Structure formats: C-alpha cells, structure tokens
C-alpha cells in the first residue's frame, strides 16, 4: 500500500505528537527514527541517535536485545515487556516497551518499532510496596490492618504465630475477640482518647491467645486518613512481652511475698497498712495492728529440724488466715513472727473476737505425721487512730506490746499503752532539754550555809545545783534531777558539780575563808566504777582543798537499796579522808541495823520532820529520837529545813547543834554567800557565853539589808529596812 504525502505527513505528526517515545530500529539494531518524546525521555537529540546502535542505551550489564529483533524478523509476536535503559546523564530508566514489526510495501519486515513509556515512578512505588509487604510479612511483631469500623482486613504471618489465630479466622472479626478481662475499661478508654486526639496510642495490654493463655504485649495503634481526610485504616502493632512480664511478676512476687508461706512480707505489709490508715482517715473507722510471735516454736526447730518447723509455720499461717476476713492482711515478717492488719473496724468487739479466734487457733495441736506439736501465740496490739502514729511507728508499738506479753507470761493478748508512750515521749523531750542545757553551760551551783548553834560559827555550806533556764529562769533540782537519776547524764553532771564545788572551795581558801562544802552524790554516780579514783584525782588538782573539807551526801532511801555496796564504797572513801552524810534521814524506814551498817559521820534530819515538829508531837518525838540515835552512835546530826528561829532554839535544846534552812539563809550564788558570811560573823551575838540565835539572825539580816540599800541608792534606788526575824 502506497501512502500519499499527506498521509505520510499526518502519520509523522502523530508520531512526533505522542507522549510515548517512538523509536524505529532496523534489523541490525540501529536507530532509524527518534521522536521528540524519545528526546525528552533519554536526553539525546535525533541527530545524536539516528544511525546509532540501540545498544547505546543499554546498561553495561545487559545484553543486546537481539532476541527481540530476531523474533520480529521471523514474524513472531513480541508484545510488551519491561526493561531498563540509560538516560544521557547515566541514571537508569524503567520502561514499559511495546515492540512491533515495520513492513515495507510488499509486507516484508524491514525493522522494528519500539514504543517506550517511562514507568520509573510507578516502579519506585511498586518497590516501596514490595518492601512494605516484605516488612509486613517478615516482621516479628504481630501487625494488623483494621478498617474504620474496627474490622480486621489484613494481618501478617507473625500475627498468627503470636495469637494462635490464622489469617482466615481473624479477617472480618473485631478486636473484641482478644479481650482478656485482666484489665479494666479505663486503659482502653485512655488509649482510645489518645487515638482520637493525636492519631496514635500506645499501651501495655493483656490479651489472650486462641488456646486461652494470657498474652502481654506493647500495643501501638496508628490512624491513617484518606485523601479527603477521613479515617480509612488503622495499623495495629503488637509486640509480645509475655516472658518479660511473667519474669517481672515473679521478681515482684519475690520482693513482696514470703517464699515459705506465700504471705505478704514486710514491704507489702507496710503498703497495705498505709492504705488501711488512709481509708480509716476517710471513713472514721479504726485499723488494728497485731504483732504475733509463736511461743515454743524454737523448741520445734531444735527438736524436729527446720523442715518440720517450716511445715508447722505453713500450717499455723493457713489456720490464722482461716479466722480472718477476706479484707484483712496476714504477713510474715521473719522467723515465727507475723503481723495482722484488720481494717474497716467499727467497734472493739469486732476485732477482739478475731484476735481471740487467732489466739485459740494457734493453741491447737499441729499434727505432722506421728508428731503432735504444740505452740501458742503472744500478740501485741495497737489501734489506729487511738495510736495516731505513722505506719512504721504503729508496727513498732505493736512489737513493743508483744514484747511486754513475752516478758509477762506469753499466750495472751496485750494492748499497747498509748499513755505510756506519750509519757515516754515527754520524758525523752525533757532529757534532751537537760542534755542540751548541760552542753550550753546553763547549770550553776548555789550554796546554803550550815551553822553551829554552840558558838554561831559557819560550819560549812551545802552545794545545791540550779538550772539557769533562758526561758523559765532559775529552776530548782526537783524539776530535773529525778529525771536523770538512772540516766548516764547524772554521772557527767555529778562530775561537773564536784569540779565546780572544788573550784569554789579552793577560791574561798585563797580568800582566807576556808569553808567545808557538802556535795550531793547520786547513787549511780557513787557506785560507778572509778568514782573514788576520779574524785581523788580531782582533789589532787586542787592542792588547797583537803579531803576533810569535802562531805559527800547520799540520800538515805537510795543508800539502803544496796547497803553492802554503798557501805564498802564509803569505807574506801573514808580511808582517803572523805566524810559522808546520810541525807533525808528518817524517810527510809531506817533501823538500827542500817545505822550500824552505813559508816556515815553525819545524819541530816529530813526537813519534813523539822518543819512539823512545832505543831506535831509525833514529829517532835521523831526528831528527838534521831538526835538520840545520832548521839548513841557518835554521829553528828544536822537539821535541814529550819524555817524560823524558834525551830532553831528548840533543836539546840534537844542537843542538835547544826542547822541549815531559810531561817539562816536561802541558797545563794558564791558572791552572795561571801557577803552573807561576812555579815553573819560580824553580827554573831553571844550572851553570857550562850549563842543568841534570834539576835544574830536579826542583826545579820539588818546588816545585809543595809548593804543592799546602800548599793541600791548608789544606783539611784530607794528601799526600807526589815525590822523582824523570820517567824514560824
């Protein structure tokens, strides 16, 4: 068939206008035609390619397409095929090629027409899809594609491995298939909320396999939208972490449960007790904490071995659990010790009934083989909020109550004494304040004179401790000494008193007024090892003070607690030249035997007898008896608490020649004592060879008052003189 010029021109226009590259080749593989689309596709102009071998466009590793030309030359169909060619800049082009023969006028094949379409972009998409499909299929995590209605539309192979469901069993089903019931709806509500708000949610969920086994996994769900911004798909990825979670649960159980009895241990107990206390605060109910220790369990271990002991513990723990409510906690905290926490308690009867059952249960014989084992329980109890302590303190209080049971008989229940605890806390606070005061140097010594009624001389002074409290002012010894009589601080404070008194005696000796001083010594300090050696060492450090100038006072009641030890210590001290006085004599129901046993040189009559002797005949007779005993045993007697001169006159008439008390002078700081001593000696009145106590007291007081007045006037103040002595 012959074509007109118009037809040939028309066909050429079609070829040039095509978006596909149309290339002609002769049977030798050389380029015979090259349209504009070919130029655009390959980057070569027609002049560069016409007459050139088509192999020029092939990558080096590809053979020439001779088989295609051969098939065309033989008239065999070729159709379409995908191939790779090179662009002028060297980059590969993925092409879809349709090959057909070119015939001459008589129908002979003279060449081939190649129509090439660039499919590089499509090929990249396909490669990405292939890669995605490969990842999807080979991913070790279970992956599911879910439609907008929550229906599974595709799953990977790992999904079947992880869940046990085949692809066919899952497609068309919803995720409700995998709910395990181990988690509440709160988790799923949170994850769904995150998915709606952010397009993605993550969480650890428990599900179940087809065989019913629990399955823990990390679930990630991502939302995919279509071109119209509508939800099209959801991608769910589930990573199986069941072995890890089961291992964590085992570790957590070991951390919170006793391996022998499978009961909560101390750590879990503390948490549950804390929760019970918080609940009690909200509801106004009570929490009972009971500390239980098995009596006689050690004998079982010793006699039958630890294996039998362990079985006995398990038996007892199961029995105790059987007496308790489901909401209560029984914990083993070590050895044969358990703790019960009873929460939600409204009245005492409800928990005492439980505790009584526990006590009775523990007493029941334990039959292990042919052996019948017997234990009992000592139970210490504290109740919140009566005991308003924190969790750790509640356990300690229950433990303390249990210890009290052990000490007082066992096999019963004992409640913690909250009042005693409060008193102990108060005592502890007081002890701390005394300790702090000692460290701050707040203690001082006052001195109260003792006079001899024979001649009115100053026979000595008693050193009396005072606490100069910055807040309360001057505090007497009765406020703090009783608190530390059995505390180690009494020894340190006693050593300080001795040192201070020795310093003062030495200072007075240097001033020409040597004054013997009596020092009160606590029994604990006196009987402590090394007391005498320490005192003698302190005396050697004060060469102006001789042992005879120091008088040690012991309270009679404390001296009688261990008479033999006290007497032996006194004798050793007396051999070193020290003297002793028994203070508060008469208050300890002392007998002639005690008076004979204790080698004290001085007896000090208790102030209570002296103060009552003017009105109470029995007190007056008791004072006479003490004076008589002292005379019979050749002891000096001193009357304390003389508050008026009439008492002093009466005591002199009985033969008691040494007195001290407010009638003479109150305890004074050292400087005041020195002024008083000078005034007393200057005022001493002796009439017809007899010491006149009333006149001396009156004159001494006037002299001191005048000195004070002159001192005040010198400072710009005025005052008046007293005109009488102290009356009874």
| CA separation for the pair 332, 314 (Å, rounded) | 10
Token pair 């210890």: residue:
403
> Closest Cα partner for 567 from 606, 594, 532, 590?
594
Are the CB atoms for 581 and 601 separated by under 8 Å? Answer: yes
Query: How far apart (Å, rounded) are the C-alpha atoms in residues 33 and 26?
Result: 10
Residue 278 and residue 271: Cα distance in Å, rounded? 11
Mean pLDDT of 589-601: 69
Sorted by where each begins, the domain ranges of the chain are: 5-124, 139-246, 257-416, 432-714
Q: What stretch of H or E contains 517?
A: strand 517-520
Most confident range (mean pLDDT) of 214-223, 235-244, 249-258, 467-476 is: 467-476
CA distance 375 to 297: 6
Angle between helix 489-510 and 418-439 (nearest 10): 30
* CA dihedral angle for residue 53, residue 58, residue 62, residue 66, rounded to 10 degrees: -30
What is residue 151's DSSP assignment?
A: B
Which tens digits make up the pLDDT trace of 470-510? Answer: 999 999 998 999 888 888 999 999 999 999 999 999 999 99
Among 618, 727, 590, 605, smallest CA distance to 655 is for 605
What is the residue whose two structure tokens read 């023969």? 101
Q: How sure is the predictor about 228, in pLDDT bands with cuts at 50, 70 and 90?
A: confident
Q: What is the pTM of this model?
A: 0.54
CATH code linked to domain 139-246:
3.30.450.20
| Widest pairwise Cα distance in the chain | 185
Cα gap 704→702, rounded to integer Å: 5
Q: For the purposes of burial, counting CB atoms within 10 Å of the CB of 555, is it exposed (0-12), middle (13-18) or buried (19 or more)?
A: buried
Residue 176 to residues 170, 172, 180, 190, Cα–Cα distance (Å): 11, 12, 9, 17
Please write the tens of the pLDDT for every residue from 534-545. 999 999 999 999
First to last CA, the chain: 165
CATH of domain 257-416: 3.30.70.270
Share of the chain above pLDDT 70, in %: 92
SS3 assignment, position 50: coil
pLDDT over 90 percentage in the chain? 41
pLDDT above 60 (res 621): yes
Whether 257-416 and 5-124 are alike in CATH topology: the answer is no
**β-strand 550-555 against 473-475: which pairing, if any?**
unpaired
Question: For residue 561, what pLDDT is reported?
Answer: 59
Task: Give the SS3 label for residue 648.
Answer: helix
The pLDDT, as a whole number, for residue 718 is 43
CB atoms within 10 A of CB 300: 23
The enclosing H or E element of 534 equals helix 531-540
Beta strand extents in 119-229 (DSSP E only): 142-147, 152-155, 200-208, 214-225
What is the reported pLDDT for 713?
59
Q: How far apart are CA 677 and CA 654, in angstroms?
A: 26
Confidence of residue 558 (pLDDT cuts 50, 70, 90): low
- Enter the CATH code of domain 5-124: 3.30.450.20
Which of 87-91, 147-151, 347-351, 597-601 bottoms out in mean pLDDT, i.e. has the lowest? 597-601
Q: Is 720's pLDDT higher than 50?
A: no
State which CATH number among 1.10.240.10, 3.20.20.450, 1.10.287.110, 3.40.50.2300 fits the domain covering 432-714: 3.20.20.450
């Amino acid at each position: 068939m012959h074509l007109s010029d118009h037809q040939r021109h028309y066909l050429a226009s079609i070829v040039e206008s095509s978006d596909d590259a149309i290339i002609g080749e002769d049977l030798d593989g050389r380029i015979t035609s090259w349209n504009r689309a070919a130029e655009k596709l390959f980057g070569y102009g027609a002049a560069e390619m016409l007459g050139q071998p088509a192999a020029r466009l092939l990558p080096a590793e590809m053979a020439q397409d001779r088989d295609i030309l051969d098939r065309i030359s033989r008239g065999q169909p070729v159709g379409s095929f995908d191939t790779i060619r090179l662009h002028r800049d060297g980059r590969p082009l993925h092409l879809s090629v349709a090959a057909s023969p070119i015939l001459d006028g008589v129908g002979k094949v003279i060449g081939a027409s190649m129509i090439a379409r660039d499919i590089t972009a499509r090929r990249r998409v396909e490669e990405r899809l292939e890669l995605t499909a490969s990842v999807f299929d080979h991913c070790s995590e279970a992956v599911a594609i879910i439609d907008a209605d929550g229906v599974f539309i595709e799953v990977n192979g790992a999904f079947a491995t992880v869940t046990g469901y085949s692809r066919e069993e899952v497609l068309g089903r919803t995720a409700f298939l995998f709910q395990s019931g181990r988690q509440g709806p709160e988790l799923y509500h949170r994850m769904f909320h995150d998915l709606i708000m952010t397009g993605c949610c993550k969480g650890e969920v428990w599900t179940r396999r087809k065989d019913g086994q629990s399955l823990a996994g990390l679930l990630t769900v991502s939302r995919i939208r279509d071109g119209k911004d509508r939800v099209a798909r959801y991608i769910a990825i589930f990573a199986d972490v069941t072995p890890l979670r089961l291992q964590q649960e085992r570790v957590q159980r070991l951390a919170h449960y006793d391996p022998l009895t499978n009961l909560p241990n101390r750590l879990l107990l503390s948490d549950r007790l804390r929760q019970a206390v918080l609940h009690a605060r909200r509801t106004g109910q009570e929490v009972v904490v009971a500390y239980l220790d098995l009596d006689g369990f050690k004998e079982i271990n010793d006699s039958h071995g630890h294996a039998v002991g362990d079985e006995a513990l398990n038996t007892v723990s199961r029995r105790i659990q059987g007496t308790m409510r489901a909401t209560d906690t029984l914990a083993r905290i070590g050895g044969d010790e358990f703790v019960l926490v009873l929460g939600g308690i409204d009245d005492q009867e409800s928990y005492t009934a439980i505790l009584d059952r526990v006590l009775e249960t523990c007493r029941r014989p334990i039959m292990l083989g042919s052996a019948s084992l017997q234990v009992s329980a000592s139970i210490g109890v504290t109740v919140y909020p009566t005991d308003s302590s924190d969790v750790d303190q509640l356990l300690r209080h229950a433990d303390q109550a249990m210890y009290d049971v052990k000490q007082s008989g066992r096999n019963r229940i004992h409640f913690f004494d909250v009042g005693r605890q409060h008193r102990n806390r108060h005592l502890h606070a007081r002890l701390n304040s005394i300790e702090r005061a000692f460290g701050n140097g707040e203690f001082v010594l006052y001195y109260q004179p003792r006079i001899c009624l024979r001649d009115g001389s100053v026979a000595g002074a008693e050193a009396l401790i005072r606490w100069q409290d910055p807040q309360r002012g001057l505090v007497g010894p009765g406020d703090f000494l009783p608190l530390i009589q059995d505390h180690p601080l009494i020894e340190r404070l006693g050593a300080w008193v001795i040192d201070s008194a020795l310093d003062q005696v030495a200072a007075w000796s240097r001033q020409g007024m040597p004054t013997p001083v009596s020092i009160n010594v606590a029994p604990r300090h006196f009987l402590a090892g090394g007391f005498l050696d320490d005192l003698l060492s302190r005396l050697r450090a004060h060469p102006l003070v001789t042992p005879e100038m120091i008088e040690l006072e012991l309270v009679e009641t404390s001296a009688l607690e261990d008479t033999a030890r006290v007497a032996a210590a006194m004798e050793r001290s007396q051999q070193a030249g020290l003297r002793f006085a028994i203070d508060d004599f008469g208050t300890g129901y002392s007998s002639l035997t005690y008076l004979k046993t204790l080698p004290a040189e001085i007896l000090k009559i208790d102030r209570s007898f002296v103060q009552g002797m003017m009105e109470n005949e029995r007190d007056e007779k008791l004072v006479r008896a003490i004076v008589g005993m002292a005379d019979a045993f050749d002891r000096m007697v001193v009357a304390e608490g003389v508050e008026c001169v009439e008492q002093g006159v009466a005591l002199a008439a009985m033969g008691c020649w040494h007195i001290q008390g407010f009638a003479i002078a109150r305890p004074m700081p050292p400087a005041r004592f020195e002024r008083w001593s000078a005034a007393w000696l200057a005022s001493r009145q002796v009439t017809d060879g007899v010491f006149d106590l009333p006149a001396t007291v009156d004159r001494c007081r006037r002299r001191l008052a005048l000195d004070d007045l002159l001192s005040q006037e010198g400072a710009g103040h005025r005052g008046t003189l007293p005109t009488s002595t102290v009356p009874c």
